[in-house]
Structure 1
Amino acid sequence: MSLQSTALHNLSARELGEAYAAKELSPVDVADAVIERIEAREPVLNALYQFEPEAVRKDAKASERRWMDGTARGPLDGVPMTVKENIARAGVPMPSGTALSHPKIPQVNAPATDRILEAGGVIVGSTVMPDWGMLSSGVSSLHGITRSAWNPAWTTGGSSSGAGSAAAAGYGPLHVGTDIGGSIRLPGTWQGLATLKPSAGLIPLDVPYIGRAAGPMCRTVADAALFMTVLAQPDIRDYTARPYPAMDWNVDGGRGLDVASLRVALQTDAGAGADPDPEVLAAVEAAAAVFADAGATVERIGPLINQDMLDGLDNFWRTRSWADYQALTPAEQEKVLPYIARWCSRGADFDGAQTIRNFHSIDRMQQATIAATANYDVVLSPVAPMAAFPAEQPMPVDDPDRTMAHIAFTVPYNMSGQPAATVNCGFTADGRPIGLQLAGRVGADDHILRATAWYEAARPASAAPDWASLD
């Protein structure tokens, strides 16, 4: 890919950093190109909650000066990027996708925001999400409907809905999402992206919670890895974070990876939720064959969890959200998306003892997942059992009593704290992207990204997204 033949909004973060260093491009020109891209696509995609072009240009101009006088803050200085609206930016409201009055206005940045600004990143804006982050779509009582960059009739996935659409559309190369059950990886699979739900606490959070993580959403694995050099820095505000050894984020297309030595597990039965579509299974099976053909030992494994564990977790989440919903005035309750209100209302049915039993589903899921995957270097699986569904639909299984039927491949790794990456591995007959999930041991994030980069380079051309086609 040459700079001359590629639209500036399609350049990777690595390419931008190299071009800035060589004085071949200015961050100002790139910011202008991304702003133009956003203004062209945003009326349809609806990916951004906060977007101030003049502030973007001001930050890009400051970056340009640093590159010119030799004080650039690193390879991401001047690179356009976004953060999800539930990642604090001082002074920017955090409505979390709801139309409720008086959203929280943080006084300080979240750790991820601070690390981006310290690295000179140009934050283009905050990306939207559905109500309370509890939908795997771009349907929001505040924002309306966010749509796929591939086809506006299709869902973005969620809850990092705006981040997924922005990444696919070319609103800059780097985007931060959050994930408590699949909210980074689901938009990843339905938008053809490279993503990482990192090990627990590797990317610090100012509001940590069991299973919650922040992570990169990008077009390429190399960019996701480059972004980790900034995001995966310790911050005392995350009181749940554990110390990790230094990691090597130079994935280099997977070169140097001894694929033949890998023990790879292939999981195609989630043991809960919806059954995988045949096209999804076929794409994942073909990806596993790429590893096997390169000499890896590929073994099938069964489900990591069962339906009882998934239902228990879902019921605990319902109770948690019911507590938030119940605290609202009747007038404010009316502003919450009806689908979410109906979903969380079931939380009122559980007494204290049952809530504790539901909470213990997290422990059971964690134990089962770590035990089932301990002997493998990489675990391959679908990300979701289905491809993208209609954008107007709140969930892939459109029934508030079965809302979590799509997360049985992803949520185990939230509860176990293990890293799980995604990369595109094929398309349905009608062109919808299909993602491959690659998971590994806690703290093996760099190894998982290296394996993901290796597959990204080795996959057939038919499985690779053609980002230029979205122009």
Structure 2
Amino acid sequence: MTLADLTATDLLAKYREGALSPVEVIEDVLARVEELEPRICATYALDPDGARAAALESEGRWRDGTARPLEGVPVTVKENIATRGTPVPQGTAATELIPATEDAPAAARLRAAGAVIFSKTTMPEYGMLSSGVSTFHHLTRNPWDLSKTAGGSSAGAAAAAAAGYGPIHVGTDIGGSIRLPAGWCGLVGLKPTHGRIAVGNPYPGRAIGPLTRTARDAALTVSVMSGYEPRDHTSFPPTPESYDESALPHGLRVALLLDAGLGLPVDPEVTAAVSAAAAVLEKAGATVEPIGPIITREMLDGLDRFWRVRSAVDIAALPEDRRAKVLPQIRSWVSTAGDLSGFDVFHGYSQMGAMAAAVTAIFTSYDVILSPVAPITAFPAELAYPTDDPSKPFEHIAFTVPYNMSAHPATTVNVGWSASGLPIGAQLAVPHHQDLTALGLAGYLDSQQTERRNWPLG
């Protein structure tokens, strides 16, 4: 294990002891990126000189006793989280490249905490794919198997975390875009309670959260980014809560959801791994009960119609020459938007509320909903969608998207491996404002893993 593989909590302890310098760490991280990036393609706007300068400043703060909570810790942020001076292409060649005038709230909080933001990370076209397919970025690949996708839309963040580009990577999630790549790359990925981490440009379903190798690092990142921000009217003050992965799940009421009731069928290997995680919780004193599907086909199809029209409006506003640069699969998906009536669009919008009500009803009887993150393991990297069909783009998000609509926190943790060696993730969803509870459970499940595998080196 090199310095690039150390967790954020380990780095901070070593900095505090004077056993390690942020300057040494960033050099090791940059060397890892230089070695693997030609194969993985996870970064955008890599800034080695800026990173070295920031690490040197952090070294000085540790020396003079003014270190901050993430002082000297290498961090990446997804390219759609604005950082001052860097364009935000949103994964598409259709975007006009205009440098951002200021840091988005999450990036500003990370910098204020002393994090060394050394790079942005890639995303697919407009963030509307669960893959790394983009007309702007090179194709991002999964470090566990370069023929497979890292997932999306936080594609680069997940690939960077699995490859060891430092310990903390921050992504966004509007239907599973943190949790799906985290699950397919063997990571902890948290979509927090909406409003806990200010987005800056809030939209129904949209959230920002960490992708890390450990639940403890995810909790640390959340604590730094949380809080009210005037630029985001949906944000709220930090919620008192502590991270504890040592607390046994004794007495927890766990709803086990193994069949979403729609979309792609669940791979038997995925079912077996999540069922094994349920057995671990049950052995520790939790009550585990199987439940039926939470959402319906009407809900998912309605959401598809609404998002399709929303995306069609954005693309139609582009000049013709830029509109032609949009990924063909996205253009195909939005091409039918004009066939929908106002009634169709309003009904689609109403399904967000229907999903929220369905999830909330489950939490009247249970403390946790345990499920797969995705019904399948990572699919071929070149595919925009696992179905390879733009008319059926959401058949793999039935386990993740309900919590975007209901604003509940949900986190992932690796719970097993496919026969071909790909990670299998479980999802833990909990009531509002219990984000660290979800992470604590993820940490507990991780601590009970009987099979440990070395992180991939691409």
TM tier, smaller: over 0.9
SS at match of 2:141: coil
Structure-2 change in CA distance of 1:63 and 1:106 (3 Å): same
**Aligned ranges 1:236-385 → 2 under 5 Å:** 236-243=230-237, 245-248=239-242, 250-251=243-244, 254-255=245-246, 257-385=247-375
Counterpart for residue 191 of structure 1: 185
Give the Å deviation of 1:90.
1.1
Counterpart for residue 204 of structure 1: 198
Measured in 2, the distance between the counterparts of 1:101 and 1:271 equals 37
SS at match of 1:379: strand
SS at match of 1:260: coil
Measured in 1, the distance between the counterparts of 2:239 and 2:156 equals 32
SS at match of 1:15: helix
Question: Higher mean Cα deviation, 100-109 or 12-21?
Answer: 100-109
- Please report the RMSD computed on the Cα atoms of aligned residues, expressed in angstroms: 1.2
| Number of equivalent positions | 458
Question: Higher mean Cα deviation, 153-162 or 259-268?
Answer: 259-268
**Aligned ranges 1:154-193 → 2 under 5 Å:** 154-193=148-187
Counterpart for residue 221 of structure 2: 227
Per-residue CA deviation, residues 1-25 of structure 1 (Å, 9 max, x unaligned), is xxxxx31011000000000010100
SS at match of 2:272: helix
Give the Å deviation of 1:329.
2.2
Which amino acid in 1 is paired with 2:80? N
Query: Quick check: 1:19 aligned with 2:9?
Result: no
Measured in 2, the distance between the counterparts of 1:60 and 1:96 equals 28
Counterpart for residue 470 of structure 1: 457
Query: Quick check: 1:433 aligned with 2:427?
Result: no
Counterpart for residue 50 of structure 2: 55
Give the Å deviation of 1:242.
4.1
Give the Å deviation of 1:104.
4.1
Query: Quick check: 1:422 aligned with 2:416?
Result: no
Per-residue CA deviation, residues 355-396 of structure 1 (Å, 9 max, x unaligned), is 111111111111111112332111100000000011111111
> Identity across aligned pairs (percent)?
50
Give the Å deviation of 1:243.
4.7
Counterpart for residue 143 of structure 1: 137
Counterpart for residue 65 of structure 1: 60
Per-residue CA deviation, residues 204-231 of structure 1 (Å, 9 max, x unaligned), is 1110110100001001111101111101
**Structure 2 counterpart of 1:397, from 382, 387, 391:** 387
In the alignment, structure 2 segments of 5+ residues that lack a partner are none
Contact 1:374 1:441 in 2 (8 A): no
Question: Higher mean Cα deviation, 125-134 or 224-233?
Answer: 224-233
Measured in 2, the distance between the counterparts of 1:224 and 1:449 equals 8
SS at match of 2:335: helix
TM-score, length basis structure 1:
0.95
User: After the TM superposition, which parts of structure 1 deviate over 6 Å for at least 4 consecutive aligned residues?
Assistant: none
Contact 1:192 1:465 in 2 (8 A): no
Measured in 1, the distance between the counterparts of 2:449 and 2:47 equals 39
Structure-2 change in CA distance of 1:101 and 1:303 (3 Å): closer
Give the Å deviation of 1:470.
2.7
Give the Å deviation of 1:315.
1.0
Measured in 2, the distance between the counterparts of 1:89 and 1:47 equals 17
Give the Å deviation of 1:333.
1.5
Counterpart for residue 90 of structure 2: 96
Give the Å deviation of 1:330.
2.2
Which amino acid in 2 is paired with 1:36? A
In the alignment, structure 1 segments of 5+ residues that lack a partner are 1-5
**Structure 1 counterpart of 2:211, from 214, 217, 234:** 217
Measured in 1, the distance between the counterparts of 2:98 and 2:366 equals 43
Counterpart for residue 448 of structure 1: 438
Measured in 1, the distance between the counterparts of 2:27 and 2:406 equals 42
SS at match of 1:261: coil
Which amino acid in 2 is paired with 1:56? A
Question: Higher mean Cα deviation, 206-215 or 451-460?
Answer: 451-460
Measured in 1, the distance between the counterparts of 2:40 and 2:235 equals 35
Contact 1:16 1:79 in 2 (8 A): yes
Give the Å deviation of 1:61.
0.4
Counterpart for residue 29 of structure 1: 24
